[in-house]
Structure 1
Amino acid sequence: MDNKEKKLHVAIFPWLAFGHILPYLEVATFLAEKGHRVSFISTPKNLRKLPTDLPPSLTLVELPLPRVDGLPDLAESTAELPIKKVPYLKKAYDMLEPAITEFLQRSGVDWIIHDFAAHWLPRVVSQIGINSAFFNITSATSPAFLGPPSLLIEGPVPRPEDLTVVPKWIDYPSKVRFKLYEMLQNHDGMDPGVSDFQRIGESIRGSKFVAVRSCPEFEADPLRLLEKLYGKPVVPVGLLPPRRKRSSEDERWVELKRWLDDKKEKSVFYIGLGTEVNISPEMIVELAGGIEKSGLPFVWVVGQRPGPENIPPGFESQVAGRGYMWMGWAPQAEILAHPAIGGILSHCGWSSAIESLGQGRPLILFSGANSDQGLMGRLFEERGVGFEVPRDEADGSFTSDSLAQTIRRVMVEPEGEQVRANAWAMREIFGNYELQNKYLEKLAQVMLA
């Protein structure tokens, strides 16, 4: 059969975190729009939060999450858990193996695209006779930093301090590394029975190819190195920039837009620290102090962590007129696209950075210390699209003065001119939908080959 006529049945199985689920859904939607049959597998609570306007050939497959001791009732994603409870979620996820196996055996699936946590899945699909691909939702820099699968599987689990230096296998100029406080927090989220390193290594080793959320226009060297380290094809799927949907009917957005319309172009900085970044009460005081001391207008989106109750008393009155406080989920893509926004105080999440650089917004880099956010902080500073807030290597502490200074460097000071220009130029890569869709087309071709 001609590849142009052949249609696949592809199963998609992301990890239980929305920073993973949403990029996987982008890939699933693209494949479904190309006429392939797609089964998107997750737990009921997570699936209920997805958009309803999905292509007809994309089916949501519910698998109830097994309960394990230590996992709070009703919790089905990392957004609902403190990081020290995430290992219990991984144990529950592993217990989905029988249900996934049964589904694959009876569903006529040709390919399954899976996440790092399902380290057991390549073994399952090889027994059934299904092709598998591991989709890494991070930038290519992060898995390149971690090294070859043999080391991840058979080597000793790295100590936090082992990951604070540039690895010897990095064969291009780079200063990207973790800071100690970032790795100490990361270790809190690991399952002591099966480390994240082992999960990633086994996912790589057992797959036909590895897909990466990146493109050679931004990460040519890391993508090249990954193929060398893995000894198998590495397929960039592009950056998956969000398909922006305007929230014009949302009264809160209309009100914020009116407020932004009165501000000068690129004069406002946006504070978006993600949904899962944990910040101590002491750090919240310094954070609020730095925002105030910057003297610049801002929009601060306050989610669950930290919640509104953690904002220092009197802060809102002190910044009245200059600051806009938004509580809960916000239409980040629309906010970043507004001409008044001139930069973002970012937790260094890859998805958030893609949205920001897609609009040409420079980054005030404040690593959330989850996953690979620390590596991303170093990478973006190295690429000249942001400045990192100075923080203590051991505990991540910082001062309001250093934060205010970094905000001003990125937003208005002469030394930030090149950073602002570099970020603006990144629109040609991060905001180029035609370029990025080309890589998704290549993914489909690889699976049809």
Structure 2
Amino acid sequence: MDSKKQLHIVMFPWLAYGHIMPFLQVSKFLAQKGHHIYYISTPKNISSLPKLPPHLCSNITFIPFPLPQVHGLPPGAESTSELPIHKVPYLKKAYDKLETQLTEFLKRSSQVKWIVHDFAPYWLPSVANQLGINLVFFSILCASSIAYFGPPSELLGGCRQRPEDFTVTPVWMDYPNNLAFKLHEMVSHQECMDSVSDFERAGTLLLSCNILTLRSCFEVESDALRVLSKLHQKPIVPLGLLPPSLPSDEDKGDGNWEALKKWLDSKQAKSVFYVALGSEVSMSQEFMQELAFGIEKSGLSFIWVVRNRPSVEGHLVQDIVPPGFEERVSDRGLVLRGWAPQLRVLAHSSIGGFLTHCGWSSVIEALGFGVPLILFPVGSSDLGLVARLMHGKKMGLEIERNDLDGSFTSDLVAESIKRVMVDPQGSQLRANAYAMKEIFGNVELSNKYLDEFTRSMEEFPPSNDDV
């Protein structure tokens, strides 16, 4: 690439695995197109990233910024997965203190003309403005969620002030949809808010960015993307769905895959459901046990990946699987503690359903293999909105829960699992999900969107300094 045309781009994700990986995926694409990427995060997060392919090493530079210590943040914690939800505000305070290091780096790196950033660094516009740098807000959320949150004026002090205000579909969503939070979802999300709310952070950045990009496509969310254009009056450039690649057989990172594959190979096609509630989901012991009993009552084969979350003191909490559960289901169920090769599992022909916490990445992975969804949004962020979106599009079925406190019954869990997996009433849903492989798993389609995104930066009107 002509060095004059080569862009120098900073990537600056939030400190959560579900943000760090999509930012890396986009970095690799931009680097492949000949642009130079400075990928900035903390040392521990950078060290956990997969190795770069040799041909990209010269175009991606990892810049580790030590995370400043703040009172209340457990020593050594550098990502949300290492914290209970009520400690996340301290991580946001520490992240905000990266402003000094980032400003110094940008002053030294005069070639940087773009920063691709996340929802959190609300202080970034003034830094970029002083240095004549353009901003791309890369949201890892789906278009429907961002549209639901509304224009900057709404995020920065609009009419929705109480959790109850978020339980109705907003007026600007001008097409048939069911997008709204349940009351218990909004209440739990407030636990991870800092004194600067997530709404204020995102609103400030949406107001100032030159381009808004997001993990979506017109084939899935054309109405929401249209609403976003109307709300923000600036370029909205979807990135595509960024379907992840299956690890190659030579990849030895999945230590437990051989035994798992052998177990799956012994099962009939589409007879097993997979349960994984993400790396950062925290549920009460009571809810986990009710979920376990529902899984058991379904009578179907399953794999359940269980992660014990850190407690208040940072130690792991007691085991959340009910006593005796594993013995009772040993003939048809596997409980895996810690981590599982999720992509490999979802790609296996024995998997016929996915009981998910509704993280957008997990939904994309499942539908990329045509696996229907048993929707169980637990945790903060936009998980409830994703559940409603997928339920409304009939690609999954949401497990019914009490709107006020989130409670549910094991019978409803079992019923929902069976509907998605085997019941005749679920046949249309299974067919819809299978058909989605053509969109969610389509790398070529995603690359077309990434090409368009790359061009939007390459051809962006130059600032006065560049003319």
**Partner of 2:102 in structure 1?**
100
CA distance, structure 2, for counterparts of residue 16 and residue 184 of structure 1: 22
Distance 1:3 1:366 in 2: 49
Q: For residue 378 of structure 1, report the CA deviation from its aligned partner.
A: 0.5
Q: Tell me the residue number matched to 2:278.
A: 274
Give the corresponding residue for 1:28.
Answer: 27
AA aligned to 2:287 is: M
Q: Distance in 1 between matches of 2:285 and 2:359?
A: 22
Amino acid aligned to 1:198: E
Give the aligned residue type for 1:417.
S
The whole-number CA distance in structure 2 between the counterparts of 1:151 and 1:293 is: 44
Could you list the per-position Cα deviations for residues 329-348 of structure 1 after superposition, in whole angstroms to 9, with x for gaps in the alignment?
11100100000000100000
**Contact in 2 for aligned 1:275/1:304 (Cα 8 Å):** no
Which residue does the alignment assign to 1:256? 260
* Cα shift at 1:93: 0.8
Residue 239 of structure 1, CA deviation: 0.5
Q: Choose the corresponding residue for 1:236, options 232, 235, 238.
A: 238
Q: Which residue of 2 aligns with 1:287?
A: 291
Corresponding position of 1:77: 79
The answer to whether residue 141 in structure 2 is matched with residue 138 in structure 1 is yes
Match of 1:357 among 358, 362, 367: 367
Tell me, yes or no, if the aligned pair for 2:308 and 2:320 is still in contact at 8 Å.
no
2:334 is the alignment partner of 1:324: yes
Q: Shift of residue 172 of structure 1?
A: 0.8
Which residue identity does 1:283 align to in structure 2?
A: F
2:8–2:36 Cα contact (<8 Å) kept: yes
Write out the 4+ residue segments of structure 1 that deviate beyond 6 Å after TM superposition: 2-5
Aligned to 2:401, which of 363, 380, 391? 391
The question of 1:428 aligning with 2:438 is answered: yes
Cα pair distance change 1:4/1:359, threshold 3 Å = farther
TM-aligned CA deviation for residue 208 of structure 1:
0.5
Residues in 1 aligned to 2:217 and 2:413: alpha-carbon distance in whole angstroms: 32
Match of 1:342 in 2: 352
Structure 2: which 5+ runs fail to align?
310-315, 460-467
Return the letter of the residue paired with 1:126: N
Alpha carbons of 1:295 and 1:137: their partners in 2 closer, same or farther (altered >3 Å)? same
| Alignment correspondent of 1:14 | 13
Is residue 174 from structure 1 mapped to residue 177 from structure 2 by the alignment?
A: yes
Aligned length: 447
RMSD over aligned CA atoms reads 1.5
Task: Report whether the alignment pairs 1:368 with 2:367.
Answer: no
User: How many Å apart are 1:35 and its aligned residue?
Assistant: 1.4
CA distance in 2, matches of 1:407, 1:416: 10
CA distance in 2, matches of 1:199, 1:217: 29
| Letter in structure 2 aligned against 1:44 | P
Shift in Å at residue 369 of structure 1?
Answer: 3.1
8 A Cα contact 1:293 1:400, kept in partner: yes
224, 227, 235: which is aligned to 1:225?
227
| CA distance in structure 2 between the aligned counterparts of 1:111 and 1:251, rounded to whole angstroms | 39
Cα deviation code 1:179-228 (max 9, x no counterpart): 01110010111112x11111111111111010011000000000111011
Is the partner of 2:411 in helix, strand or coil?
helix
Letter in 1 for 2:241: L
- Pairing 1:445–2:455 present: yes
SS in 2 for 1:104: helix
What percent of counterpart residues are identical?
Answer: 55
* Aligned position for 2:463: none
Residue range with higher mean Cα deviation, 151-160 or 392-401? 151-160
Q: Which residue of 2 aligns with 1:184?
A: 187
1:408 aligns with 2:411: no
The aligned amino acid for 2:389 is: L
C-alpha distance after superposition, 1:269-326 (max 9, x if no partner): 0001101111110011111100100000001111233977121111011001200121
State the shift of 1:158 in Å: 2.5
1:417 corresponds to 2:427: yes
How far residue 34 of structure 1 moved from its aligned partner, in angstroms, is: 1.4
Name the TM-score, length of structure 2 as normaliser.
Answer: 0.93
Q: How far does the alpha carbon of each residue in 1:14-48 deviate from its partner, in whole angstroms, 9 at most, with x for none?
A: 00111111111111111111111100000111111
Moved more, 303-312 or 350-359: 303-312
Spell out, residue by residue over 1:74-101, the C-alpha distance to the aligned partner (whole angstroms, 9 max, x if none). Answer: 1111111111111111111111111111
- Verify the 8 A CA contact 1:247 1:331 in the aligned structure 2: no
CA distance in 2: counterparts of 1:232 and 1:4, whole angstroms:
28
- Secondary structure of 1:310's match? coil
Residues 46 and 62 in structure 2, CA contact (< 8 A), matched pair in contact too: yes
Residue equivalent to 1:208: 210
2: distance between equivalents of 1:318 and 1:384? 33
Q: CA deviation at 1:251?
A: 4.3
Whole-Å separation in 2 of the counterparts to 1:92 and 1:251: 34
Q: Distance in 2 between matches of 1:251 and 1:355?
A: 21
Which one of 46, 65, 68 corresponds to residue 66 of structure 1?
68
2:42 counterpart residue number: 43
Structure 1 counterpart of 2:123: 120
* Aligned with 1:333 (options 343, 347, 367): 343
Q: C-alpha separation between the residues in 2 aligned to 1:210 and 1:331?
A: 32
Determine the C-alpha separation between the residues in 2 that align with 1:61 and 1:276: 25
CA distance in 1, matches of 2:276, 2:113: 39
Q: CA deviation at 1:5?
A: 7.2
CA–CA separation in structure 2 for the residues paired with 1:109 and 1:247: 38
Relative to the length of structure 1, the TM-score reads 0.97
> CA contact under 8 A between 1:247 and 1:253: conserved in structure 2?
no
* Partner-residue secondary structure (3-state), 1:110: strand
Q: CA–CA distance in 2 between the matches of 1:319 and 1:47?
A: 39
The amino acid that maps onto 1:189 is C
Corresponding residue for residue 464 of structure 2: none
